[in-house]
């Protein structure tokens, strides 16, 4: 993984750098970051405009209204995050990943993930799942999935979106997929918790908040004791049950993707701080849920970097070391 970015561009070098700069080929090391939750979109998700991250409120909708707006409250803010121009999304996000020294687990159907892997082979860890999108019931044949992991280089099984179908992760109908992950020693990444404002009303009538309860993972974990689980969105907002699960199952990790930018900042920090203060600082992983706005990555990293309740070591653990351990990427902690 290249960890060094050249800082002396021709222009900057000409204006700022002395001859020593040229002679020593001065570089600045940007500490590496792992984003464990990126979606392999080919373009910015259609139909969604600029977004105000960490919105301060969620407004009510009226069932009489023809079409209620999904997701993000329209309000004025700085910074506003913008979608990419048509056809530019993959290029824009990968440019951000290089600038910020990010390696990402990129989830999606194998064909689209390959576009990302080909565009940035050293920075993309491929992930794919047995659920097909957010529409209920679609399943990938198990032998096809086995091939993805044994022959085609996929490393993580996710995003598993059973909550959108109103299904528990311990539902027997999907157990064979988790058995496969355990057999192949592939970590699984399961959506648990937040679904965005008004999810059940508007886009996903089968979505159930209750199916994001982290304790619903207990039966699955009991059946598959060697399964490595990434609880996506950290079971937000069910902190007590999340802590209960982390306490009882010491190989479970969480990611803070999605929640880190889509709820009020004070609330986000309080949630992450609860996880850390409860003693689970080595199991919190950074993630974005990147799918529309390329600048989301730098914005989300800054929330961890600006968290005054985290020590510099805890920030590095969340931004890199915990994910490297979970994914078994390397054994050397990154400073």
Applying CB under 5 A, the residues found at the interface with Zn ion are 191, 232
Between strands 27-29 and 4-6, the pairing is antiparallel
* Cβ 95 to Zn ion shortest distance, Å: 24
Least separation, in Å, of the C-beta of 319 and Zn ion?
20
Q: Which is nearer to Zn ion, 110 or 161 (CB)?
A: 161
Contact 90, 119 (CB under 8 A): yes
Q: How far is the CB of 191 from Zn ion (least distance, A)?
A: 4
Kindly state the tokens that stand for 108.
């999606």
- Between 38 and 220, CB nearer to Zn ion: 38
Closer to Zn ion by CB, 54 or 129: give it: 129
Select 159 or 321, whichever has its Cβ closest to Zn ion: 159
Rg of the Cα trace of the chain? 20
The residue nearest Zn ion at its CB is 191
For the bound state, the minimum distance from the C-beta of residue 332 to Zn ion, rounded and expressed in Å, comes to 30
- Least distance to Zn ion, CB of residue 4, Å: 33
How would you classify residue 203: left for phi > 0, otherwise alpha for psi between -120 and 50, otherwise beta? alpha
d(CA 119, CA 41): 13
CB of 232 or CB of 301, closer to Zn ion: 232
| Phi/psi at 19 (5° precision) | -60, -30
C-beta separation of 127 from 155 below 8 A: yes
Output the DSSP codes for 185-252.
T--EEEE-S---TTHHHHT-TT--GGGG-GGGGHHHHHH-TT--EEEEGGGTT-HHHHHHHHHH-TTE
Closest separation in Å from C-beta 36 to Zn ion = 12
Q: Residue 332: helix, strand or coil by DSSP?
A: coil
Q: Which residue has the tokens 């078994």?
A: 328
Q: How far is the CB of 189 from Zn ion (least distance, A)?
A: 9
Closer to Zn ion by Cβ: residue 190 or 304: 190
Query: How many angstroms separate the Cα of 308 from the Cα of each of 280, 302, 305?
Result: 17, 12, 8
> Rounded to the nearest whole angstrom, what is the least distance from the CB of residue 204 to Zn ion in the complex?
12
- Indicate the residue among 110 and 158 with the shorter CB distance to Zn ion: 158
Closer to Zn ion by Cβ: residue 191 or 228: 191
Q: Supply the DSSP string of 90-142, one letter for each residue.
A: HHHHHHHHHHHTEEEEEES-HHHHHHHHHH-TTTEEEEE-SB-SSSTT-B--H
**H or E stretch at 262:** helix 259-262
């Amino acid at each position: 993984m290249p960890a060094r970015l050249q800082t002396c561009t021709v222009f900057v070098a000409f204006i700022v750098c002395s001859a020593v700069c040229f002679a020593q080929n001065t570089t600045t090391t940007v500490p590496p970051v792992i984003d464990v939750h990126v979606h392999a979109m080919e373009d910015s998700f259609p139909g969604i405009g600029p977004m105000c991250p960490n919105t301060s409120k969620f407004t009510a909708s009226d069932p009489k209204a023809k079409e209620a707006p999904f997701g993000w409250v329209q309000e004025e803010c700085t910074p506003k995050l913008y979608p990419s121009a048509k056809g530019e999304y993959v290029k824009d996000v990968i440019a951000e990943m290089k600038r910020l020294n990010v390696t990402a687990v990129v989830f999606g159907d194998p064909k689209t993930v390959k576009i990302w892997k080909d565009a940035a082979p050293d920075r993309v860890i491929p992930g794919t799942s047995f659920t097909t999108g957010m529409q209920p019931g679609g399943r990938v044949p198990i032998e096809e999935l086995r091939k993805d992991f044994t022959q085609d280089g996929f490393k993580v099984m996710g995003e598993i979106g059973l909550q959108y179908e109103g299904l528990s992760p311990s539902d027997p109908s999907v157990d064979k997929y988790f058995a496969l992950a355990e057999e192949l020693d592939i970590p699984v990444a399961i959506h648990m918790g937040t679904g965005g404002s008004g999810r059940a009303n508007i886009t996903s009538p089968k979505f159930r908040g209750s199916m994001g309860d982290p304790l619903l993972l207990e039966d699955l974990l009991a059946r598959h004791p060697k399964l490595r689980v990434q609880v996506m969105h950290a079971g937000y907002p069910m902190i007590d049950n999340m802590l209960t699960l982390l306490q009882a199952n010491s190989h479970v990790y969480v990611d803070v993707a999605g929640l880190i930018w889509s709820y009020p900042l004070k609330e986000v920090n309080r949630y992450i701080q609860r996880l850390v203060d409860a003693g689970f600082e080595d199991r919190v992983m950074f993630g974005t849920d990147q799918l529309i706005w390329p600048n989301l990555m730098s914005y989300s990293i800054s929330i961890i970097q600006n968290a005054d309740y985290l020590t510099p070591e805890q920030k590095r653990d969340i931004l890199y070391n915990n994910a490297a351990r979970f994914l078994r990427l390397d054994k050397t902690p990154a400073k």
